[in-house]
Amino acid sequence: MTNPNATIEGLRLQVDMIKCVGHASCFELLPERVKLDEWGYPIIETDPLPPHLVAHARRAVAACPTLALRVDGKVARQR
């Protein structure tokens, strides 16, 4: 079940780990919010995006070869 306390506010970067195969284009385009683990998969900061990064984030989303990355207002899961 989702956390009912998860508020819908601000845009967040999300990754579908099943679709992601580690092309790491998000890391190249948005190093401010994306780090890579030792196997080359993205570790993504899911805090709301600051306004100046939103356009960059959208570009990273568009560049993801497997369409695993997205920007939306919904939180998949509270960590």
Partner 1 sequence: MTIMLERGARQGGSGTLPRLLAGGRRLGEHRATYGQIPLRRFGGEEGRRTLIRAITDAGLRGRGGAGFPTGRKMTSVAAGAKRPVVIANGCESEPASRKDKMLMACSPHLVLDGAVLAAHAVGADRVYLCVERGTSIADRLERELAQRDDPVKIKLVRVPRRYVSSEESALVHLINDGDGRPMAAPPRPFEKGVAGRPTLVDNVETLAHVALIAAYGPDWFREVGTRSDPGSTLVTIGGAVARPNVYEISPGMRIGEVLDAAGGAVEPIGAVLVGGYFGTWVPMPDGWGLPLTHDRTGPLGTSLGAGGIVALPAESCGLAETARVVRYLAEESAQQCGPCMFGLPAIATDLAAVAYGRCDPATRQRLMRRISQVTGRGACRHPDGATRLATSALTTFAADLETHMDGWTCTGVSRDPMLPLPDRRHRDRSWK
Q: CB-wise, 28 or 66, nearer to partner 1? A: 66
How many chain residues touch partner 1 (CB under 8 A)? 19
Asked if 79 interacts with partner 1 (CB under 8 A), we say yes
Q: Quote the least distance from Cβ 20 to partner 1, whole Å.
A: 6
Q: Which of 72, 28, 64, 65 is nearest to 48 (CA)?
A: 72
CB 23 within 8 A of CB 7: no
Q: Which letter, b or e, does each residue of 37-53 get, where b requires 16 or more Cβ atoms within 10 Å of its Cβ? A: eeeebbebeeeebeeeb
22-41 binders of partner 1 (CB under 8 A): 22, 37-41
Asked if 52 interacts with partner 1 (CB under 8 A), we say no
Asked if 74 interacts with partner 1 (CB under 8 A), we say yes
- In this chain, which stretch among 18-26, 48-56, 59-67 interacts with partner 1, using CB under 8 A? 18-26
Burial, 22: exposed, middle or buried (Cβ in 10 Å; 0-12, 13-18, 19+)?
A: middle
